[in-house]
């Protein structure tokens, strides 16, 4: 059976639909108390996998998701979800300080990124535009499944999402959180390959 055939589903009325998205669920995710309390209790007291807990509630494009199960005796499950649900819930966040206090700070602190962005014609006065443009493009690419998986640990799944500015495409680093929230962790993560 091909990977494509796994994406074709039939609803209870016999209608065929194309599903590309899943929600990652850890069995202890939905217990009616604050997530931080659950994470601390389970990760420490019950010795559950911190990576599994961090993925719980996250949405993944089926073609670009962590291996499942993550490890032997994994308590996680996946559940098909409709793209319309993902589109309704997903959002991108990027703090303006990623530009004002990192990219457009001194060369040493920005690790050469200031010179790079300035060579593209941007300066600190463009920070608000850049923040909004990064969020727009990142969300669009995330919803298209156009991202790469990077490091996964107890903090969550990092994603490399392509961003294009002035005909220059590069990867930007994002952290995936539950319900399709992606948070920018680094504006410039390297050249697009």
Average pLDDT over residues 159-181: 96
96 and 42, same structural domain? no
Q: Which helix (H) or strand (E) holds 149?
A: strand 148-153
Please write the tens of the pLDDT for every residue from 43-74: 544 556 888 889 989 999 998 999 988 888 88
Please write the tens of the pLDDT for every residue from 87-120: 999 999 999 999 999 999 987 888 889 999 999 9
55 and 145, same structural domain? no
Tokens standing for 142?
């995330």
What span, in angstroms and rounded, lies between the C-alpha atoms of 66 and 79?
14
106 and 185, same structural domain? yes
106 and 83, same structural domain? no
120 and 31, same structural domain? no
More confident of the two residues 52 and 160:
160
Contact 56, 76 (CB under 8 A): yes
10 Å CB burial of residue 15 (0-12, 13-18, 19+) is exposed
Count Cα neighbours of 85 within 13 Å in the Cβ-side half-sphere.
15
Report the chain's mean pLDDT, rounded to a whole number: 84
Give the chain's domain count.
Answer: 2
User: What integer pLDDT is reported at residue 15 of this predicted model?
Assistant: 57
Domain end residue (candidates: 33, 64, 88): 88
108 and 80, same structural domain? no
Q: Which helix (H) or strand (E) holds 18?
A: strand 16-18
82 and 102, same structural domain? no
User: What integer pLDDT is reported at residue 3 of this predicted model?
Assistant: 42
Residue 80's beta-bridge partner residues?
A: 22
User: What integer pLDDT is reported at residue 183 of this predicted model?
Assistant: 98
Domain that holds residue 34: 5-88
């Amino acid at each position: 059976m091909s990977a494509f055939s796994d994406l074709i589903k039939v609803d209870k009325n016999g209608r065929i639909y194309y599903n590309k998205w899943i929600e990652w669920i850890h069995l202890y995710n939905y217990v009616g108390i604050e997530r931080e309390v659950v994470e601390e209790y389970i990760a420490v007291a019950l010795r559950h996998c911190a990576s599994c807990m961090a993925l719980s509630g996250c949405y993944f494009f089926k073609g670009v998701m962590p291996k499942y199960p993550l490890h032997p005796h994994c308590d996680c499950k996946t559940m098909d979800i409709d793209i319309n649900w993902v589109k309704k819930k997903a959002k991108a966040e990027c703090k303006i300080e990623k530009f004002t206090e990192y990219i457009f700070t001194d060369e040493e602190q920005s690790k050469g990124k200031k010179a790079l962005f300035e060579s593209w014609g941007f300066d600190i006065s463009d920070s608000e535009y850049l923040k909004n443009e990064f969020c727009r493009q990142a969300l669009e690419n995330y919803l298209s499944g156009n991202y790469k998986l990077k490091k996964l640990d107890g903090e969550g799944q990092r994603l490399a999402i392509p961003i294009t500015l002035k005909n220059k495409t590069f990867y930007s680093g994002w952290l995936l959180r539950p319900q399709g929230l992606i948070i920018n962790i680094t504006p410039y993560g390297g050249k697009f390959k």
